Amino acid sequence: MSLRIGIREGVRTITRNASLFIMSLLVTSISLFLLSLFAFVTVNLYHFLNILDEKIEIIAFLEQNADYEALESNIMKINGVRDVIYVSSAQALKDLQAELKETEEVLRVFESNPLPASLRIKLLAKFRNARGLEEISDKVMLLRGIRETIYGGELVDQLKKITGVITTFDIALLLIIIFSVVFVIFQTIKLTIFARATEIDIMRLVGASNTFIAIPFTFEGITQGIMGGFIAFVLTVITKRVAVSFLSDIYFPQGYFFLGSILCGIIFGIIGSSLALRRFLK
């Protein structure tokens, strides 16, 4: 009963104060769009860093006629190794040819294939640093049939440091943006609630419970959040389409962005309206 009346009151206030609602919706949409845009940049940044991280590996060159299958299974037993991929001498040449398409003649200098067979050793995430690489590389070197190993070493640690700084900066910025978005949404909702101070006053006066008074405003906050979230999502999709024409490798998990925008809208709408209502419901 009270929920039905509360929602009816919510719909009524939205339709009777349409211009105020639209203004408030606009501010909410833009705020959520900013947040979504930041999330979009962040997701792509992490995606890129992840790709870089995945590329950290040890390449172990094999001696001629080494038993690569035995080596493969021995290396797999080393703590920190996730995967071992065998690259035959012929495959290595093929890869190189693909990479040096335009300077293919260079390879013709050699009469036979000069490239040795190798094992590409992929590591677990926590071993992808200078120490982990060195430790595993040393263990691999002890195995019979390994001629040499190469890995990034200090370069990897540099990369990790840069990643760390970017991540910290990103989280700080995210917090600032979330705070600003909640603040802006809260201020806007407060304006719309202030416009209906008499209504709240009367409800309190005639003995409506605080929960009842909050229903129409929370309903309005949620409606605004859902609509604002949806508009923000559409704007982000448009931005993504524009970005794709400049950058080829764009990561955009559409489903998550849709859900995220709507959920953020709902949560901020609820938080905003309850914060704004608090001063009326003493």
Alpha-carbon distance values, 88 to 58, 117, 155 (Å):
16, 4, 27
**Tokens describing residue 61:** 């060159």
**Tokens describing residue 199:** 């209504």
User: 197 to 236, contacts with other proteins by CB under 8 A?
Assistant: 198-199, 201-210, 212-213
CA-CA distance, 27 to 184, in Å (whole number)?
8
148 Rama class: left (phi>0) / alpha (psi -120 to 50) / beta: beta
216 or 260: CB nearest other proteins: 216
Does the footprint of other proteins cover residue 1 (CB under 8 A)? yes
134 or 199: CB nearest other proteins: 199
Please state the closest distance from residue 185 (CB atom) to other proteins, in A. Answer: 25
128 or 196: CB nearest other proteins: 196
86 or 212: CB nearest other proteins: 212
Please state the closest distance from residue 203 (CB atom) to other proteins, in A. Answer: 5
Please count the residues of this chain forming the interface with other proteins, following the rule CB under 8 A. Answer: 18
CA-CA distance, 231 to 250, in Å (whole number)?
21
CA-CA distance, 124 to 81, in Å (whole number)?
6
Q: Give ∠ CA 8-17-219 in degrees, rounded to 5.
A: 40
Please state the closest distance from residue 5 (CB atom) to other proteins, in A. Answer: 5
Residue span 14-53 as binding mask against other proteins, x where in contact by CB under 8 A, dash where not: --x-------------------------------------
Does the footprint of other proteins cover residue 104 (CB under 8 A)? no
Instruction: Identify each DSSP E strand in the chain by its residue range.
Output: 57-62, 81-87, 118-123, 146-150
What residues make contact with other proteins under the rule CB under 8 A?
A: 1-2, 5, 16, 198-199, 201-210, 212-213
